[in-house]
């Protein structure tokens, strides 16, 4: 059987989650490997969520928030941006392939962009193969 | 142990087509703590809701999972079902298997697998949910309306007539907006001023409306029910409390500037009222055009003013008003067609844009309502070019919606006021609206020539240098046309105001790809936005005609009223709280919060959160080193459990 990656998405309620809904409303097609958790703001995302996702066997993690400057909570995504940049470095330092973690700013009107990012990211993770660095076997 | 009920919606075939719904319900029944799992055709319908309510009682459910459309769609609907059945509304979980599953795949195996994973995550999360109590807050009963065009005027009057106090903010020195620039309105050809100016006057006279012209919103604080809006009153250099509108100043003023009101066709004075029926009827000084401000001497206006109303020392002032709801009605601009060099706008004097032509027809306009070219001659042949920049993938893909109709209106008025031949170059004629098709038929009979083909280029005529040539392909005959004319009217794309982006930032509105403000839901919440308590009306949402704008304005007024009519309202209970036993007193939360909700309690040596200010973003929870802050409804445990469930399959 071919490798079907498991991808965890974490999306903010106001922009990326709504953008993902828009992708659905406009019937854009994208691979079903992504499963999205909704949080109110990308700033809610604790780096431990990302590490935990990889431990749980996620082959890739995609975080989506409002475009910098357009955060529903004014400055939340600016904190998220910094924190997630550091998270990425720590992941890489700990031996994770850089391509497995991605942060994207996708607005509520960018259904197209959401579908495009998911398609691209899924392909990328498929090429990388199963994630074994962090996974804790059950 | 909890008792979970899972309710899987088919949404007709919307979900059932690409997710095996009965299999999903059977799968749900195997998950921990699930005591009942059912599927049904339309869960949001009355029988669907009744089924959930019945099962809550019959199975003594303490958690409900609805597996259906996006939570942004029906979370509130199902929360009400829980509340009515005596269950705390926050014990509901929605699994989005429509927008994010069934609509984005054609493969039923993939769809079903993903739906199972999402549902598994939801069950894990639901088990950890806690009942929450909504906060009740006081509501301010006043409303702010931003934009004094027909949309803002209509909304303000409707609200004021219900007895609510309205602040109407307009950045120009008069209200009226674009509608006040028009001479006639389609399809009835009634006089724009005759239907608008009485409304403008009502705004001025209304005891419940505070009219704030030459004003801009500079800061927005607070939230639904309790907005604190700071308004900048731009310096007018005329004290309007003294001015008696004699307008002697405008006669004497030597300063000149391009008249925005007349679309640059003529000049106005530096101290001016934009047009004779302006509301308020009081002049302002344009600092950039004023001789005194430029050269340090003149002050002629001051000398003739018997009221001593001229005040060159005036500064911008700021005031803060408290309102419960906001209506944004900031209108539109026309695309700058100079960017489309093939049409020669700005290069050939015979090329006009639609708003300039509106002013030419207007009896209060630069030509007194006579249609003459810039050299004073009457045109013999006129071409109206539709869809300039709109319905154009290289510029704006959207249809600007009103251009077909106003182009027909122009044709009629040209025929009425001149003896010119009038040609319409169109892609499709779009005449959807009450009486519009009939108007189109009427204009056809007025001997207007219709050429189905988009104007491709406007050039100077080689044979007669003072004339223009319109080039196009007539798509009916398949022939290439070169038509000599004296006047070309461009119908440019309608786009959001240049400062719409600033307004979006101030009020936290989303914008679409063109910059129009996004509605909360395109069909069911067309006037609401993602910012609770902020509503939109008119062309700032998308291009539309006057009847639709007025209808929206009335709708937005009603929406705003549903908020301010109550003294109190409930707010989401999903705020953050501090567990004092684990707080390490680092005060990270105090530093990062955009709303100043966390504060440090010196006496107790721990941080606390002012729930009235908390908006529930969860930022503080994720910067708290000992995880002492709990983001209610999105706790670490809840989010991690959901992730675990999602990744299990």
Tens digit of pLDDT for each residue in B493-516? 999 999 999 999 999 898 999 999
Map tokens 């008696």 to a residue. B244
- Chain B segment 609-648 residues within 8 A of A by beta carbon are 615-619, 621-623, 631, 634, 636, 639-640, 642-644, 646-648
| Cα Rg of chain B, angstroms | 30
Q: Tell me which residue in A35, A38, A73 faces B619 most closely, judged by beta carbons.
A: A73
Q: Which of A6, A41, A70 sits opposite B647 (nearest CB)?
A: A6
List CB contacts of B132: < 8 A, sequence separation 6 or more.
B88, B90, B573, B574, B632, B633
The pLDDT score that the predictor gives to residue A2 is: 82
CA-nearest residue of chain A to B646? A35
| Alpha-carbon gap, residue B156 to A94, rounded angstroms | 60
Identify the burial level of B434 via C-beta atoms within 10 angstroms of its C-beta, where 0-12 means exposed, 13-18 middle and 19 or more buried: exposed
- B585 backbone φψ class: left, alpha, beta (φ>0; ψ -120 to 50): left
**CATH annotation of B575-631:** 3.30.70.20
Q: At what angle do helices B108-127 and B21-29 cross, to 10 degrees?
A: 30
In the predicted model, is pLDDT for residue B572 greater than 90? no
Tell me the per-residue pLDDT of B222-238, one tens digit each, with 9 for 90 and over. 889 999 999 999 999 99
> Could you tell me the CATH number of the domain that includes residue A113?
3.40.50.960
Angle at the Cα of B242 from the Cα atoms of B236 and B246, rounded to 5 degrees = 85
**CB atoms B634 and A28 under 8 Å:** no
How far is it, in rounded angstroms, from Cα B606 to Cα B111? 48
Could you read off the pLDDT of B76-91 as tens digits, one per residue? 999 999 999 999 999 9
Q: How far apart are CA B171 and CA B175, in angstroms?
A: 9
C-alpha to C-alpha distance for B157 and B148, rounded to whole angstroms: 11
| Chain A residue with the nearest C-alpha to that of B622 | A46
Which pLDDT tens digit goes with each residue over B445-476? 999 999 999 999 999 999 998 999 999 999 99
**B334-494 belongs to which CATH class?**
alpha beta
Q: Is B2 exposed, middle or buried (0-12, 13-18, 19+ CB in 10 A)?
A: middle
A-to-B residue pairs, Cβ atoms closer than 8 angstroms: 138
What is the distance between the alpha carbons of residues B353 and B355, in angstroms, rounded to a whole number? 6
Mean local confidence (pLDDT), B629-638: 96
Confidence class for position A1, pLDDT limits 50, 70, 90: low
How is residue A81 annotated by DSSP?
A: H
* b/e map B543-558, b = 16+ CB within 10 Å: bbbbebbbebbbbbbb
Q: Percent of chain B, pLDDT > 90?
A: 94
CB contact under 8 Å between B639 and A39, yes or no, is: yes
Candidates B105, B96, B460; CA nearest to A35 is B96
Q: Which of A128, A46, A40 is nearest to A87 (CA)?
A: A46
B324-340 average pLDDT score: 97
The C-alpha atoms of residue B457 and residue B476 are separated, in whole angstroms, by 19
The gap from C-alpha B369 to its chain's centroid, in whole angstroms, comes to: 33
How far, in Å, are B163, B512, B517, B545, B562 from residue B535 at the CA level? 19, 16, 10, 19, 12
Tokens 């100016």 correspond to what residue? B197
Which chain B residues touch A108 with a CB distance below 8 Å? Answer: 510, 518, 530
pLDDT at position A70 over 70:
yes
Give B296 to chain A, closest Cα distance, Å: 41
Nearest CA in chain A to B511: A109
Contact by Cβ (8 Å): B487, B383: yes
What whole-number distance in Å separates Cα of residue A28 and Cα of residue A25? 8
| Domain spans of chain B, in order of start | 4-134, 145-226+319-331+497-564, 248-304, 334-494, 575-631
Q: State the architecture of B4-134 in CATH terms.
A: 3-Layer(aba) Sandwich (3.40)
Predicted pLDDT at B134: 87
What are the backbone dihedrals phi and psi of residue B84, each rounded to the nearest 5 degrees, phi first? -65, -25
- Beta carbons of A32 and B111 less than 8 Å apart: yes
Peptide bond into B280 cis (omega under 30): yes
**Superfamily of the domain at B145-226+319-331+497-564:** FAD/NAD(P)-binding domain (3.50.50.60)
Backbone angles phi, psi at B390, to 5 degrees: -105, 165
Q: Is residue A133 part of a domain?
A: no
Hey, of A4, A19, A26, A32, which one would you mutate to test binding to chain B, going by the most B CBs within 10 A of its CB?
Answer: A32
Residues of B in contact with A46 (CB under 8 A): 621-622, 636
ω into B187 cis (within 30 of 0): yes
**Which residues in chain B touch residue A60, judged by CB atoms under 8 angstroms apart?**
none
Q: Give the single-character DSSP code of B58.
A: H
Q: Which domain holds residue A72?
A: 7-128
Asked whether the predicted pLDDT for residue B193 surpasses 70, the reply is yes
The closest alpha carbon to B494, from B401, B631, B577, belongs to B401
Token pair for A1: 């059987």
CA dihedral A21, A24, A29, A31 (to 10 degrees): 50
Q: Using only the alpha carbons of chain A, give its radius of gyration.
A: 14
Mutation target to probe the A interface, by most A beta carbons within 10 A, among B119, B618, B632 is B618
pTM for the model stands at 0.89
Non-local (6+) Cβ contacts of B368 within 8 A are none
Find the mean pLDDT for residues B536-548. 98
Name the E strands within B170-316.
Answer: 184-185, 190-191, 209-212, 215-223, 226-233, 256-258, 267-269, 271-272, 284-285
What is the C-alpha to C-alpha distance for residues B456 and B473, in angstroms, rounded to an integer? 8
CB distance B197 to B277 below 8 Å: yes
Residue A77 lies in a domain: yes
What are the backbone dihedrals phi and psi of residue B5, each rounded to the nearest 5 degrees, phi first?
-110, 130
Give the model's pLDDT for residue B571.
86
Question: What residue in A sits closest to B104 (Cα-Cα)?
Answer: A29
Mean pLDDT of the residues in chain B: 96
pLDDT reported for residue A59 = 97
Supply the DSSP string of B570-583, one letter for each residue. EE----EEE-TTT-
Looking at beta carbons, which residues of chain B come within 8 Å of A37? Answer: 121, 639, 642-643, 646
Chain B (584-613) residues lying within 8 Å, Cβ to Cβ, of chain A: 592, 594-595
H-state helical runs in B337-485: 354-361, 403-417, 436-444
Instruction: Give residue A138's pLDDT.
Output: 59
Inter-chain touch B113–A43, beta carbons under 8 Å: no
**From CA B123, how far away is CA A23, in angstroms rounded?**
25
- SS3 (DSSP) at A53: helix
**Closest to B213 measured CA to CA, from B156, B133, B252, B298:** B156
Number of folded domains that form chain A: 1
Q: What integer pLDDT is reported at residue B1 of this predicted model? A: 86
Query: pLDDT tens digits for B389-400?
Result: 999 999 999 999
B594–A109 C-beta distance less than 8 A: no
Residue B324 has pLDDT above 90, yes or no: yes
Contact B195, B231 (CB under 8 A): no
Mean pLDDT of B291-309: 95
Q: Which residues of B touch A135 (CB under 8 A)?
A: none
B100 touching chain A per CB within 8 A: yes
Residues B618, B625: Cα–Cα separation, whole Å: 14
In this structure, what token pair is assigned to residue B193?
Answer: 């001023």
B114–A108 C-beta distance less than 8 A: no
Cβ(A61)–Cβ(A53) below 8 Å: yes
Residue A2 maps to a domain: no
HEC sequence for B133-161: CCEEEECCCCEEEECCCHHHHHHHHHHHH
- Look at residue B84 and give its three-state secondary structure: helix
Does the pLDDT of residue A69 top 90, yes or no? no
A chain contacts of residue B594, beta-carbon cutoff 8 Å = 73-76
Q: What is the Cα–Cα distance from A13 to A36, expressed in whole angstroms?
A: 11
Report the residue of A11, A14, A21 to disrupt the B interface, i.e. the one with the largest count of B CBs within 10 Å.
Answer: A21
Interface contact flag, B646 A37, Cβ < 8 Å: yes
Residue B114 CA: distances (Å) to CA of B6, B120, B319, B645: 16, 10, 53, 11
- Contacts of residue B453, Cβ cutoff 8 Å, sequence gap at least 6: B425, B426, B427, B472, B473, B474, B475, B476, B481
**Mean pLDDT for the stretch of residues B610-632:** 94
Q: Do the first three CATH levels of B145-226+319-331+497-564 and B334-494 match, i.e. the same topology?
A: yes
pLDDT band at residue B612 using 50, 70 and 90 as cut-offs: confident
The C-alpha of A109 sits at a distance from chain B's nearest C-alpha, in angstroms, of 5
Q: Which residue from B minimizes the CA distance to A75?
A: B594
3-state secondary structure of B184: strand
Tokens 């000149």 sit on residue: B256
Would you say residue A103 lies in a domain?
yes
The answer as to whether A138 is a domain residue is no
């Amino acid at each position: 059987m071919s490798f079907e990656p498991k991808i965890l998405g974490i999306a903010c309620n106001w922009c990326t989650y709504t953008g993902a809904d828009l992708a659905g409303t406009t019937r854009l097609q994208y691979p079903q490997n992504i499963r999205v958790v909704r949080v109110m703001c990308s700033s809610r995302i604790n780096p431990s969520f990302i590490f935990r996702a990889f431990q749980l066997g996620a082959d890739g993690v995609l975080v989506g928030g409002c475009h910098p400057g357009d955060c529903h909570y004014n400055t939340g995504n600016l904190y998220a941006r910094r924190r997630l940049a550091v998270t990425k470095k720590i992941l890489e330092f700990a031996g994770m392939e850089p391509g497995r973690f991605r942060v994207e700013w996708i607005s509520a009107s960018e259904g197209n962009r959401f579908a495009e990012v998911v398609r691209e990211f899924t392909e990328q993770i498929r090429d990388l193969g199963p994630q074994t660095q962090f996974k804790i076997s059950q | 142990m909890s008792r979970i009920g899972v309710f899987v919606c088919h949404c007709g075939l919307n979900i059932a087509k690409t997710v095996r719904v009965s299999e999903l319900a059977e799968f749900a029944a195997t998950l921990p703590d699930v005591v009942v799992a059912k599927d049904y055709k339309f869960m949001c319908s009355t029988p669907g809701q009744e089924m959930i309510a019945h099962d809550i009682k019959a199975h003594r459910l303490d958690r409900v999972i609805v597996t259906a459309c996006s939570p942004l769609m029906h979370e509130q609907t199902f929360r009400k079902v829980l509340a009515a059945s005596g269950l705390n509304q926050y014990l509901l979980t929605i699994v989005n298997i429509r927008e994010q599953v069934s609509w984005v795949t054609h493969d039923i195996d993939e769809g079903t697998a993903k739906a199972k994973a999402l549902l598994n995550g939801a069950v894990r999360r639901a088990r950890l949910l806690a009942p929450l109590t909504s906060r009740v807050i006081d509501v301010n009963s006043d409303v702010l309306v931003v934009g004094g065009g027909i949309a803002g005027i209509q909304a303000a009057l409707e609200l004021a007539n219900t007895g609510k106090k309205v602040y109407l903010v307009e950045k120009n020195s008069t209200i009226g907006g674009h509608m006040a620039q028009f001479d006639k309105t389609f399809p009835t050809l009634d006089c724009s001023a005759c239907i608008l100016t009485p409304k403008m006057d009502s705004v001025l006279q209304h005891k419940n409306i505070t009219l704030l012209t030459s004003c801009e919103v500079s800061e927005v604080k607070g939230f639904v029910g309790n907005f604190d809006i700071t308004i900048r009153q731009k310096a007018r250099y005329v004290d309007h409390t003294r001015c008696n509108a004699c307008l002697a100043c405008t006669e004497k003023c030597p300063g000149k500037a391009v008249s925005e009101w007349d679309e640059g066709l003529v000049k106005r004075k530096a101290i001016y009222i934009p047009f004779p029926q302006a509301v308020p009827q009081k002049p302002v000084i344009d600092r950039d055009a004023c001789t005194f401000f430029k050269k340090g001497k003149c002050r002629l206006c001051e000398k003739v003013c018997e009221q001593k109303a001229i005040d060159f020392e005036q500064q911008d002032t700021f005031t803060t008003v408290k309102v419960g709801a906001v209506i944004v009605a900031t209108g539109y601009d026309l695309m700058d067609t100079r960017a489309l060099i093939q049409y020669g706008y700005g290069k050939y004097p015979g090329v006009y844009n639609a708003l300039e032509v509106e002013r030419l027809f207007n009896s209060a306009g630069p030509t007194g309502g006579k249609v003459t070219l810039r050299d004073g001659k009457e045109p013999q042949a006129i071409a109206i070019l539709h869809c300039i920049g709109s319905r154009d993938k290289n510029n704006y893909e959207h249809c600007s919606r009103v251009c077909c109709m106003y182009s027909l209106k122009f044709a009629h008025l040209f025929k009425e006021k001149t003896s010119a031949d009038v040609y319409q170059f169109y892609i499709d004629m779009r005449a959807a609206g009450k009486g519009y098709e009939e108007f189109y038929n009427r204009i056809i009979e007025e001997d207007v020539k219709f050429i189905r083909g988009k104007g491709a280029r406007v050039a100077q005529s080689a044979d007669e240098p003072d004339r223009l040539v319109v080039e196009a392909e007539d798509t009916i005959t398949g022939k290439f046309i070169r038509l000599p004319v004296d006047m070309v009217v461009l119908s440019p794309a309608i786009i959001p105001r240049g400062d719409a982006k600033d307004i979006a930032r101030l009020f936290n509105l989303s914008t679409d790809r063109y910059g129009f403000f996004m509605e909360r839901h395109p069909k069911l919440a067309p006037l609401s936005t993602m910012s609770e308590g902020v509503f939109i009306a008119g062309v700032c949402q998308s291009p539309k005609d006057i009847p639709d704008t007025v209808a929206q304005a009335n709708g937005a007024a009603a929406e705003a009223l549903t908020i301010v009519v109550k003294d109190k309202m409930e707010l989401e209970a999903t705020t953050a709280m501090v567990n004092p036993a684990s707080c390490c007193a680092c005060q990270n939360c105090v530093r990062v919060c955009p709303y100043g909700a966390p504060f440090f309690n010196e006496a107790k040596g721990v941080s606390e959160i002012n729930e009235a200010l908390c908006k529930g973003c969860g930022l503080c929870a994720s910067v708290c080193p000992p995880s002492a802050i709990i983001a209610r409804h999105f706790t670490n445990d809840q989010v991690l459990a959901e992730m675990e469930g999602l990744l299990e399959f």
